[in-house]
A and B are shown apart, each in its own frame.
Chain A
């Protein structure tokens, strides 16, 4: 390693307080940058995992979500008779006619009400969603006032635990099982027998028809046919597409917010780096003059100071990512404006985010260091040596 570089690193060590302050300023910025990316990523991940590509959802035309949708029984039967649905092991179609409604339930602890999705399921509903597993208890018996609750409901809502009862639709419903759906949106749902729920809510129509495609490529054909069928007023979407559309507004909001915050914050941090580097240059004029007198070129001086700034940025970046990685332990729950239902998702750290954050921190260091480095490099040897 050349002397100028060694000199730069040693300088960071010598001015420990300043280095620590500048790096921690940058670390905070990288932390915010990484955290917002992780949040958007976590939301995306939750939604992508919620749907599966080979499933098709049929909802009423131009209703954006299952909650707004209504599919009459006749129409649901027509969809059911289409040849695209796969056949299960028991010889029945892998198709579920479901009811989706929102209800208000009080949270544990605070008692604040939040909207929760109740899904009326058919016999195939669980088979259609391999990501959903029964973790505890049993499935509800058809024809009874029994429900199963998602893991995140059981934890956060009053009466959601196994053996407890929930009251809605003028009946008491016993929670007989808890299902685990990983980080998907289903974890924030309650499932019960569709016919019982239709009775309880006095809603004689289904909300959606979900089925597994016999042949994944056959989706376009199916979509075209049912959307042009004059008896039907429905539209079909792949399940993955459906869930992505659901949270478009939310992820856009998170992205814009994250972007705006990052820009503002990075301005602050860049100014901090600039101050530090200008001071580093000002304090070392004589030393720079000496290095130049010894024969080091302008380029070497420039490189040494830029390297110092980059290293400062990198240090901040690493610290920021280190703390941001702990955010993965936190789960955010908020209302999705498009479905009006409670949605829980966590921060997700990916390699891509780590990489982006590091590049970002280096860029911050570079921008902060480049002007002071030029000042250092452009100094005349004689002037530099003469100053005291």
Chain B
């Protein structure tokens, strides 16, 4: 009890210095938490993807399409429950700054495959039956102030021209982490227009989505599909949605690795700052430690006092940092929603935050603890601050 009191008293003896150190640790923990969350988001698409969905695309690469006739042959593969198809449209809304993912999809089967996109029944019917119909996510619609019934024009980059859509519905995510910034429209509209303008590119699907009856069949189904089209003009590559998303993510992996490294660097920086504080504190108190030793306290007590003080300061900083993370994450989610549609801090991040704070406290105290514990009484008393 006495020790604890001493530690707490010591920690706040230099109010300004302790405040600055706590502030420093808090900022570092805040940054660490936000960076970890950012990295987590990168992989969010991978985690969200369902195990019972497969993606079939052209084996050469994504820019090549597949004939629409493949849909019936895929449907015949045992284990396939439903097939949907679509194209990455890559349209631009007014200006290139306003980026959001937009796809041409076969509406009925696509919505069946993606139960996480929740639409009111009337809106769903409207989308399926209107050839120029489109649906947008809740956040996307809110951002541009779209209402059901609005006309939306996209400028095509892959499919040239100005494309007009009627917004037939606004979907909500079934889970909090569902992406609500996507835009889908009726694939028939794209195809019929291409038949008139560029017949060469009509009747082609950019990708097929396959729903399997049982996730365990996924590997078997993808092999069967690929072997069906082997040695044809358009060979296919079928993989689970997860693997498909992961292949995208892994292409930008270098950047994520850099962010991860940086999140550790920020901890190292603050470790240095905290170590410095503790070193200074210990140096100033050498005479006190010698006095305590004279009174009969052992090296272990002195070590405990220094160590405890370091931990107390680091943990207070850690707690403040964690508390600040939540409003900061909320701010990012509302202000930067076009980059980060969801920015939620996971419990794991909070644990890692506290662990990082603890490590900062321990590392910062190593040298001063050793110094305080091993000081000779005579040396300590002789020293003048």
Contacts and interface: CB of A to CB of B under 8 A. Distances in A.
B262 interface: yes
Given A168-B60, A340-B62, A63 B20 contact: no
A55 B109 CA distance: 48
B272 interface: yes
A5 B59 CA distance: 70
A60 B262 CA distance: 41
Contact of A269 (B247, B254, B269): B269
A207 to B, nearest CB: 10
B269 A267 contact: no
B339 to A, nearest CB: 9
B259 interface: yes
A272 B268 CA distance: 12
Interface of B: 16-17, 20-21, 23-24, 27-28, 30-31, 59-64, 90, 92, 96, 155-158, 160, 200, 231, 233, 235, 237, 247-248, 250-255, 258-259, 262, 265-266, 268-270, 272-273, 275-277, 279-280, 284, 367, 385
A22 B271 CA distance: 11
Given A25-B276, A63-B160, A114-B251, A275 B64 contact: no
Interface in A1-55: 17-18, 21-22, 24-25, 28-29, 32
Nearest to A332: B254
Interface string A232-259: 0100000000000000000000000100
SS of B interface (majority)? helix
A269 B64 CA distance: 50
B28 A103 contact: no
B20 A271 contact: yes
Contact of A24 (B247, B250, B259, B272): B272
A268 B27 contact: yes
Given A62-B155, A275-B21, A25 B60 contact: no
B63 A28 contact: no
B285 to A, nearest CB: 12
A269 B284 CA distance: 22
A137 interface: no
Interface residues of A, number: 53
B259 A334 contact: no
Contacts of B24: 267-268, 271-272, 275
Contacts of B160: 60-63, 233
A272 B252 contact: no
13 contacts: A24-B272, A62-B156, A104-B59, A104-B237, A261-B266, A265-B266, A268-B266, A268-B269, A275-B17, A275-B273, A279-B284, A333-B254, A340-B63
B321 to A, nearest CB: 12
Interface string A96-111: 0000011110000000
Contacts of A63: 157-158, 160
A29 B270 CA distance: 11
By Cβ-Cβ distance, the 9 closest A-B pairs, closest first, are: A335-B251, A272-B273, A21-B276, A271-B24, A25-B272, A334-B254, A102-B61, A264-B31, A279-B280
